[in-house]
């Protein structure tokens, strides 16, 4: 019993030690291209359920979060040259705010935010393309759409970073 408590305390103090590791040790640098935005303000509202289809500066937020993710992890050094060992290109293709819950008076109070992107990962002549989504459900009585969008972006960025570290 005492050994278990000491072992648990040791592991807690040391942290879990989890970190991403590229499978190919020759990969040292990563370039994150500016995120392209295929959404237009003209598609702001759909006629069906008035789903919101645009969020200002979302592409800037995605790139900043992705760069922060690589800086924090430290496995690959972030560089500003496209000739890096790993290149990440992201095209924002979807932003949706879907109603999920209603009050007794039929007003929406729970929403799902979905952020979708086409992602291209390149290493030399090897490439992989994937459509990825990040999402977050929020109750507008408890948090703002802005906070939920940030969580959805973080979810998307986590998925992109996971793809970078598991593909090779």
Q: Taking residues 87-97, report their average pLDDT.
A: 94
Quick: pLDDT tens for 116-159. Answer: 999 999 988 899 999 999 999 999 889 999 999 999 999 999 99
The pLDDT of residue 15 is 47
Total residue count of the chain as it appears in this document = 168
The Cα–Cα gap between 148 and 156 comes to 12
- In whole angstroms, what is the distance from residue 26 CA to residue 3 CA? 41
d(CA 125, CA 101): 47
Q: Quick one: which of 68, 108, 86 has its CA closest to 22?
A: 86
The predicted pLDDT at position 40 comes to 73
Does residue 106 have a pLDDT over 50? yes
- At 134, is the secondary structure helix, strand, or coil? strand
3-state secondary structure of 33: coil
Rounded to two decimals, the pTM is: 0.79
pLDDT tens digits for range 152-165: 999 999 999 999 98
- Using one digit for the tens of pLDDT, what is the confidence trace for 3-57? 554 455 455 544 444 444 445 778 899 999 999 999 876 544 554 444 567 788 9
* Rounded Cα gap, residues 32 and 78, in angstroms: 8
Higher pLDDT, 24 or 112: 112
Residue linked to tokens 């979807």: 94
Q: How many structural domains compose the chain?
A: 1
Q: Which residues contact 143 (CB under 8 A, 6 or more apart)?
A: none
Domain containing 103 equals 2-167
Give me the CATH number covering residue 58: 3.30.160.150
């Amino acid at each position: 019993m005492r050994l278990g408590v000491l072992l648990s305390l040791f592991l807690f103090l040391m942290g879990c030690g989890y970190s991403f590791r590229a499978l190919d040790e020759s990969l040292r640098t990563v370039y994150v291209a500016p995120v392209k935005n295929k959404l237009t303000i003209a598609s702001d509202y759909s006629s069906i359920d008035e789903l919101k289809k645009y969020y200002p500066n979302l592409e800037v937020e995605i790139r900043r979060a992705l760069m922060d993710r690589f800086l924090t992890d430290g496995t690959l050094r972030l560089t500003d040259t496209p000739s890096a060992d790993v290149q990440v290109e992201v095209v924002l293709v979807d932003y949706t705010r879907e109603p999920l819950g209603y009050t007794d008076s039929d007003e929406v109070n729970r929403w799902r935010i979905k952020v979708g992107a086409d992602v291209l990962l390149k290493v030399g002549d090897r490439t992989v393309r994937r459509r990825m989504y990040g999402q977050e459900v929020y109750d507008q009585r408890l948090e703002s759409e802005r906070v939920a969008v940030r969580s959805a972006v973080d979810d998307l960025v986590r998925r992109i970073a996971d793809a970078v570290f598991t593909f090779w």
